[in-house]
Amino acid sequence: MSATIKDVSKLSGLSTATISRAFAEPDKVREATRQRVFEAAQALRYQPNAIGRAMAMQRTETIAFVICKEQATILDEFYAAICEGIMDEVNQSDYQLLISTAAQWRKAEDKARSKQVEGFILGGHADARLIEEISGRNIPLVLVNNDTDKENLSCVVADEFDGVRQVVKHLYQDGHRRIALFAGHFSPYIFRQRYQAFFELQKEYALEWKDSYFHVSDRDFDSATTEATKLLSQEEPPTAVFAANDILAAGVLESRPTPGFECARGCGFGRV
């Protein structure tokens, strides 16, 4: 097997303490000694064993990112973007990143218990037991895009209200007054946040409204297309649609609306 600190100690004739210091606190070791250490280390292709180190220091320098969404994976662009941000930050330090999926929340729990992970980032709707287990052990924890109100926990969430405002304002400024709402199936928390905003803004901008302008759709391109066709063929159809997500937006645009029609979603817009 590969070399250990003892091998280096033997080869260099120095104690393991010195070897350890040469690597971890170089300036606590005389120049000449450091040389000897590194020579021996090089010869043996030695590098301090991270597990031994973790054992002695009682820290793993590892954090975990858990995507807590039914069937969601890193393929979900939303979480991929978050993951990227985390990686960026983690890479600045000596820490490393573990990722896993909600399906495996039991494993995440195990990791919390087994102290393998120094901190958790949970994306999405995290299981309450998981949260309990982690925070109950005083392991640092951040929730991202969690869809419930959590007291005493650090959460990073989207500013739903402002997002909706941007959308509505954009459409309003383009002259639209009849704006339909193509909602998605969100958790009650997000749902409330987002659509409450829409209806408030609807009043604020004095938009025209009929109940037929509202539709809750599955996250499904084809059905969005069908529904949008229906929506747009009614009398006094909306001149614009606010879609809950990209898939719905694409479906709406696919329904071949008339020119001038506009479809907006959270952070980007498409028009015909």
Partner DNA sequence: CAGAGAAATGTAAGCGATTACATTTGCGGC
Partner DNA sequence: GCCGCAAATGTAATCGCTTACATTTCTCTG
Structure tokens at 112: 């919390």
Distance (Å, rounded) from C-alpha 140 to C-alpha 17? 32
Measured in Å, how far apart are the chain's first and last C-alpha atoms?
65
Pick from 44, 54, 155, 157: which binds a second copy (CB under 8 A)? 54
Q: How far is the CB of 26 from DNA (least distance, A)?
A: 10
What character string, x for contact with DNA (CB under 7 A) and - otherwise, covers 1-20? x--xxx------xxxxxxxx
Q: What angle do CA 169, 172, 173 make, to 5 degrees?
A: 85
What character string, x for contact with DNA (CB under 7 A) and - otherwise, covers 53-92? x-xxxx----------------------------------
Across 22-165, where does the E strand assignment appear? 62-68, 96-101, 119-124, 141-144, 154-156
Q: What angle do CA 79, 243, 245 make, to 5 degrees?
A: 10
Nearer to DNA, 4 or 202 (CB): 4
**Ramachandran class of 132: left when φ > 0, alpha when ψ lies in -120 to 50, beta otherwise:** alpha
Pick from 31, 70, 77, 235: which binds a second copy (CB under 8 A)? 77
Contacts with DNA by CB under 7 A lie at 1, 4-6, 13-21, 23-24, 28-30, 32-33, 46-49, 51-53, 55-58
Using CB under 8 A as the criterion, which residues of the chain lie in contact with a second copy when the complex forms? 2, 45, 47-55, 60, 73-75, 77, 80-81, 83-84, 87-88, 91, 96-101, 103-104, 107, 110-111, 113-116, 137
